């Protein structure tokens, strides 16, 4: 699963890399946790649009918004069929902006957090889905989930699952509002094809309320 991640780059670098016109209210985040507001991109009729979604998808039919805390991830293998996700998979796909994520591994009886990023440390995007709960159902709420797949060889040293990391040349295919070919969309959800940099970080990351630059610093 993916339960924590970071996005620490500047608004200017993110806007340039993802071809965004504006990024309002941007700030670096070092330990993003479920139910928090997270940065994402959707495709509007004319251009890519920056959004902030609450992490934990709440299906439009859900009566209780607390279900979102259980739907922070969607498995690539079942996302097209599972009732919680299948409509969003067909109609509401998004890019979730990140530059690293955390996984935990038990060592000497303690859970040790590891930080996982691209080799060059550059920003990237997870494959995500989003949903809107209308005012007629209570408060207006836009939520999202991160799709996970089998871990690649490098990530498997820590965990057996990892978030789907899209290559830049796949962004348009994933966001395409007209794309409804399930097999074509599924083909984008394979494990990341390149090796990743992985290293242990301080256990302060374990606290969802701790969000500081030292979260991503290597520890011995």
Calculate the CA dihedral of residues 66, 68, 69, 75 and round it to 10 degrees: 150
Q: How confident is the model at residue 1 (pLDDT cuts 50, 70, 90)?
A: confident
Task: Assess whether pLDDT exceeds 60 at residue 135.
Answer: no
List, as one string, the DSSP characters of 152-181.
-TTGGGT-SEEEPEEPGGGHHHHH-TT---
Give me the count of residues in the chain.
220
Supply the pLDDT for residue 38: 97
Task: Assess whether pLDDT exceeds 70 at residue 145.
Answer: yes
Task: Assess whether pLDDT exceeds 70 at residue 180.
Answer: no
Query: What are the CA-CA distances from residue 101 to residues 66, 140, 151 (Å)?
Result: 24, 29, 13
Supply the pLDDT for residue 107: 86
**Residues labelled as active-site residues:** 2, 103
Mean pLDDT of the chain: 94
Supply the pLDDT for residue 134: 72
Multiple choice CATH, 5-216, 3.50.50.60, 3.90.1680.10, 1.10.10.10, 3.40.50.12780: 3.90.1680.10
- Of residues 102 and 183, more confidence is placed in 102
Task: Assess whether pLDDT exceeds 80 at residue 41.
Answer: yes
Supply the pLDDT for residue 137: 58
The structure tokens 């939520």 sit at 143
For 216, which DSSP code? G
7-19: average pLDDT: 95
Supply the pLDDT for residue 136: 56
Residue 76 and residue 147 in contact, taking contact as beta carbons nearer than 8 Å: yes
Residue 72 and residue 145 in contact, taking contact as beta carbons nearer than 8 Å: yes
Percent of the chain with pLDDT over 70: 97
d(CA 47, CA 67): 31
Per-residue pLDDT tens over the stretch 163-172 = 999 999 999 9
Angle at 213 between CA 208 and CA 217, to 5 degrees: 95
Question: What ranges do the domains of the chain cover?
Answer: 5-216
Per-residue pLDDT tens over the stretch 70-112 = 999 999 999 999 999 999 999 999 999 999 999 999 988 899 9
């Amino acid at each position: 699963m993916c339960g924590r991640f970071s996005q620490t780059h500047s608004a200017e670098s993110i806007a340039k890399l993802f071809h965004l016109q504006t990024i309002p209210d941007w700030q670096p985040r070092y330990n993003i946790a479920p139910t928090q507001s997270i940065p994402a991109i959707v495709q509007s009729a004319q251009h890519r649009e920056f959004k902030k979604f609450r992490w934990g998808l709440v299906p439009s039919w859900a009566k209780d918004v607390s279900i979102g805390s259980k739907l922070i991830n969607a498995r690539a293998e079942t996302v097209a069929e599972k009732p919680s996700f299948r409509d969003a998979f067909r109609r509401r796909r998004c890019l979730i902006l990140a530059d690293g994520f955390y996984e935990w591994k038990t060592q000497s009886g303690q859970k040790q957090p590891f930080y996982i990023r691209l080799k060059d440390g550059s920003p990237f995007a997870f494959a995500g889905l989003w949903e809107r709960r209308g005012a007629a159902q209570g408060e207006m709420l836009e939520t999202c989930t991160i799709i996970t797949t089998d871990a690649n060889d490098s990530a498997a040293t820590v965990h057996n699952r990892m978030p789907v990391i899209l290559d830049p040349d796949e962004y348009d295919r994933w966001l395409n509002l007209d794309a409804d070919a399930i097999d074509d969309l599924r083909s984008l959800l394979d494990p990341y094809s390149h090796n990743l940099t992985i290293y242990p970080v301080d256990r302060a990351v374990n606290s969802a309320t701790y969000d500081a630059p030292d979260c991503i610093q290597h520890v011995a």
